[in-house]
Chain A
């Protein structure tokens, strides 16, 4: 998922995941229903860390449905569509709510030898709601179309289930249109309603244990934009900003039979143009299996 798009924006979280090496079997569908909650009371204005009493604590919440579909044992499709709402504990800025962006991921286990595997993942997203993209930090999204390419390497020790995963991605983001006919970016006036949103990259390292009925993982992620400008002193964030963040967290899943639960916690530990958010996601999983007995 485009974590970078969602830094001062909602940290909508993921369950059955475009960033792991786990696959549904053919004809199996795992549907996750997720609730996400993310807050920050401090943020980096450019690299200056500050609080803003006119915002107090900024909260983003979301619910989403996320089916993971087994096309084959080595090819999965993952879909997600979140409903997001934002609020602040102080000040007069109007919270936003609405259906955000529909994402689709194609995940292919392209190479497997012993416990080592290589996965190619392609994802895209399309805005589904007519939300306001430039009312940051209250906007629920950026109205970008996105396309992400990701290469994921995984090693799992067959006997113990211990694994290590690493991946890197490049994310393209489309230009967007805003309600205004001019805006300032990079100290320059653009007399047009079209805004260039910078492309992104990410990298991550995950270490954990994957067993038949449960999974536990510690991770660190780095997301940033490849270009973009910086929030000026005392100014508002804007879609052109180069948002960067380093996140650490834990993830766990228990799914003894068809029904399961998962949870993720994450903490932004360092950033630029981004909120220092603490987030958690909890989910209910249900596995449908149409495999003939």
Chain B
């Protein structure tokens, strides 16, 4: 199927059927994967998915449908979208699809040919490098997945948007289990990259083994520490910070007034050490593309600058409500997996959230902490983005006393409120890493509570 032809056909057929405006999003994703089970490449997988998403607009009525076009034609899809638009209620907030803007850069700027061509046998060999490095008499790699996707999408609308972008995504998730005399420990490592060949699988394997074995000697934490500093590894801190900031600055949440940062542009909402950027053209970002999923050119948007809220993030729907321009944040794709992206409607969310690297190494940060905890891994780094509350179980952590790392601990919860913590001094590391749709370094937050079990 020719993606460009299909997108144009969907829009023109919609217009012929009376659509006042129409938008077609057509995507092809080809993925090779390997699943690791019990130290071996258990499943080799190859998949190709082509899907379309069509917005059919009748004035202020919007109908959306999607299809893989396996058992139906573009005409069937248009007919269905039209019937949905016809019965939809008018959305008074809808004014228009985005207009065409000049798009710069080549469509394949974020595409790595070698990664796109890697089949499951190449991935299996990469995985086995990791497994062999991580494994020992006491350590195994029971679970893992590595996949490399090449994706290409086209967006066409009635207002002249006709844009495409092509990129590659590599995702991996591996766990290691250490078992010594009945005591067990687990390590977790993820791979996020746009190029398979930028990933050091041996280093990942070493880290996995170190994590799993260090947990074995963890001591139960039985105290309750108040007002301590939590130093969070990039994987954990970026997930929490990304969830919080991403929710609070989405114009969707601002317009519906559920964001705690509604009407706060220009206000100081965090410590001066904190700056956050949304970068749709991030060099490392997995969402990087020439255009967003509405065909609007991507850009760099300063969200928080030295603690001051500078901007929200907009898709066209939410921007139009405030007579502003979209910031290129109308997205359907995800950073982890692009399969199924055609089936979702555009949502207003970050592309790649970046926190610029600071000047301090992790060791520097730890040396500045009188009493705290260094956390490499939570069960899952959750935060409630509406209230900022979090209480997360620690899986891999060491306590910090007088600037030094001490005992490895287990059975403890880190409790706090991230909206409050970011108002206190934040220490920002120099070790920026990619984790999902975030590129952030190690960060240290004050005002947290460590509760033993």
Bound together = no
